[in-house]
Amino acid sequence: MNWSSLYADMNAANFFNFSFLPKYASFFVEGIIYTLLLSIVAVALAVIPALLLALMRLSKNKVIKAISGAYIAVFRSTPLLVQLYIIYFGVFGAIRIPSVYIGFIDLSRFIPGVVALAINSSAYVAEIFRAGILAVDIGQTEAARSLGMTGAMSMRLIVLPQAIKNILPALANELITMVKESSICMTLGMQELMWGAKTVAGNTYITLAPYVLAAMIYFCINFPASKAIEAIERRMRRGDKH
């Protein structure tokens, strides 16, 4: 092996050798779209099962509480990559989705990826919901019950509206996390941002710059979003003081 040529390929200039962009810019543009769609749809799909899991965790029924706890424990304690493979090759290996394209998005890959991300995310979002519900003063529930509301009515009309205000920043942070975690779908050939970077690196033999560009794009998505969330949190705290 010619070690000197290998070392030359790893020099600092390679970090910013973006000569591939005129030909391969579309890979990154499509990768951004795919990544954002994966993330937004996955978190949106995770919300309903997460709320159900949170309510089950707060149930006085030990069986229901145990089922919810087991679900959350399993999906929080096993790697997302393993879950993705099981869902893609196991569940969707049995349920054959036809290879239908919407634009450049292959639904036979996109749907399993979204489902895997949503199932994983629901375990984390459930804990966000549970914490938000528990943060609501118990006196609110007692006051609702004293007015003749049932437990379900007080939860729906009194507790949940206040809990949602508490959890919105954490839910937005989960979306930012999902933007980064969606890169794992690259392993199954989904055309998200990291897949674009890997493909460009393989086609051009420019080994570092495509990944540097991908990192810069992730930063440009997530850093402003995190700052916006911080600003919203500060504004909400000021509103609470008044």
CA–CA separation, 76 and 225 (whole Å): 25
Whole-number pLDDT of residue 8 = 46
Q: Lowest mean pLDDT: which of 3-17, 63-77, 165-179?
A: 3-17
Domain at 3-241: CATH code = 1.10.3720.10
Whole-number pLDDT of residue 1 = 46
Residue-averaged pLDDT of the chain: 85
pLDDT at 210 over 90: yes
**pTM for the complete prediction?**
0.84
Q: How far is CA 205 from CA 41, 186, 201, 240, in A?
A: 34, 19, 5, 55
pLDDT grade for 140, boundaries at 50, 70 and 90: low
Per DSSP (E only), the strands in 89-185 are 101-102, 105-106
- pLDDT, tens only, 78-137: 999 999 999 999 999 888 888 888 888 888 899 999 999 999 999 999 999 888 888 777
Residue 39 CA, distance from chain mean position: 5
Provide the residue ranges of all domains of the chain, joining segments of one domain with +: 3-241
Whole-number pLDDT of residue 25 = 94
